[in-house]
Amino acid sequence: MSGAMAKAAVRPVAIKADPPTTHRSDDWKATRTSHRPGFLLPVVFTVPQPHPMDVFRVNGSRPLRGTVHTSGAKNAALPLFAAALLSDETVTIENVPDLSDIRFMAEIMRHIGADVERSDANTWKVHARKLTNHAPYELVRKMRASVCLMGPLIDRLRSAVVSLPGGCVIGPRPIDLHLKGFSGLGCGVSIEGGYVHLDARHLHGADLFLGGRHGSTALGTANILMAAVLAPGTTRIESAACEPEVVDLCRLLRAMGARIDGIGSHALVVEGVERLHGATHRVISDRIEAGTFLIAGAITGGDVTVEGARASDLAALLDKLRECGVPIESPAPDCVRVRADRPHSRKAIDVITMPHPGFATDLQAQMCALMAVTPGLSIITEKVFPNRFMHVPELQRMGADIAIEGPSAIIKGLSRLSGAPVMASDLRASAALVLAALAAHGESWIQRVYHIDRGYERIDLRLKRLGAAIERLPADQMPKHLDGEPG
């Protein structure tokens, strides 16, 4: 067998299939077996996958040090996957984070007929030759973002039957603005049996206002934008969301041939076109993940550099970290460094979450953890999801002094927290518990970390590389008397 063939023979093959989630190994494994001397068998790489019932054991109060690189943004990748359905040609999406939510989205898209292939750990190819218009409850309920399949389906099939997403622990998450937008674009909209039925035979461009009680809507803007790009005529979307993830979606749509103006502003103008073609797109880096690592550096008194963190996307967070006294450097446009290992004194501040460019609601819980160990009285007000305080009772278990008054957390900063067994409830709440455990004295056990695996690619391994004493363990290794699981 020639050198070239031998090389071809050892190309990894396992990554093509979405890796199963139950597999347990904590390290890259390479197996090489040969029953004939000198004959190389294909090297199979198994991507280590978290187990749904894993727990984290964390020993805190160690300053983090080092550099971490951000993954692609989950909240950009999900609408980008949906946008790939707008063309019957192949769309390649690179820098996709390796997360359970992404695999869910691929599963739903295959269910409606698209070919969705993973060509390596972070690259996916979507080819939606033919589609069906029905997205069932049992899939949609697993992940809200699948509501943004509605836009592409009505464009390709002029109809869609998509399950309503159902409840969410962070609070009420209606999709009335999405439906108002579709109705404005000439769709017939009805809800029957828990499903949204959209009839788009008379789809057309229109002037729309998408602002709601809590400001603009990110996925709502994405959904309507995707419907408008193939709708005959001109669509103006006022009070559109301008999150970096929405801007990233506009970039892909333009690369596919869409005509969109006002990108990055609250006013988008879309000229409908006949069809869209294939494209290749690289997902932007995850500003929420970057912000979480920056707060991890601040809360542990460490020196952490976050590569891929675009200061422009993090302006509100960096402004608040500076205001509370955390030394911040920006060595490059896409790199931010926390120098909390330098002498500095942190002080209490007030934070109000808002749609972008305001302070991100997805960093609110992590900021609560930081303020819980910052001297003085802080008030953190949640204006986007007013009930989003599931992390507070768990932080109180670690000794935090926090009171909830309506949409605000009133935080009396303490000199330290103590390690405790705690339970994650949702993605960002679990990130806050990990940060609090990294700062706390003693040992913490964090259960239901599957929540964090939905939005952070192997956060345990990356924190470990920054010097954190964190371990991912099977749930049965948690001392029984600490186990908070019911029954």
Least distance in Å: CB of 178 to ligand EPZ?
Answer: 5
Please state, in angstroms and rounded to a whole number, the distance separating the CA atoms of residues 467 and 487: 35
Q: Pairing state of beta strands 443-447 and 421-423?
A: parallel
Q: How far is the CB of 237 from ligand EPZ (least distance, A)?
A: 13
Distance between CA atoms of residues 320 and 36, nearest Å: 63
- Nearest CA to 406 out of 424, 428, 383 is that of 383
Nearer to ligand EPZ, 86 or 365 (CB): 365
Q: Which of 168, 250, 324, 368 is catalytic?
A: 168
Which residue number, 305 or 408, has a Cβ lying nearer to ligand EPZ?
408
Q: Whole-number minimum distance, CB 239 to ligand EPZ, in Å?
A: 11
CA atoms of 476 and 469, how far apart (whole Å): 20
**133 versus 146: smaller Cβ distance to ligand EPZ:** 146
Judged by beta carbon, residue 242 or residue 340, the one nearer ligand EPZ is 242
Please identify, using beta-carbon distances, which residue of 30 and 191 lies nearer to ligand EPZ: 191
State in angstroms the smallest separation of the CB of 366 from ligand EPZ.
Answer: 11
* Binding stretches for ligand EPZ (CB under 6 A): 75, 78, 144-145, 172-178, 212-214, 217-220, 361-362, 384-385, 427-428, 455
- The interaxial angle of helices 287-299 and 315-323, nearest 10 deg, is 10
The burial class, CB within 10 Å (0-12 / 13-18 / 19+), for 207 is exposed
Cα–Cα distance for residue pair 373/413, rounded to 1 Å? 5
Respond yes or no: is residue 168 known to be catalytic: yes
Q: Say if strands 279-282 and 90-94 run parallel, antiparallel, or are unpaired.
A: parallel
What residues form DSSP beta bridges with 384? none
Which one-letter DSSP state was computed for residue 37? T
Residue whose structure tokens are 């900063």: 413
Nearest distance in Å: CB 174, ligand EPZ: 4
Nearer to ligand EPZ, 173 or 441 (CB): 173
Q: Cβ contacts of residue 4 below 8 Å, gap of 6+? A: none
Q: How is 220-289 classified by DSSP, letter by letter? A: HHHHHHHHHTTSSSEEEEET----HHHHHHHHHHHHTT-EEESTTSSEEEEE--S----EEEEPPB-HHH
Q: In whole angstroms, how close is the CB of 170 to ligand EPZ at the nearest point?
A: 6
Q: What residues act catalytically?
A: 168
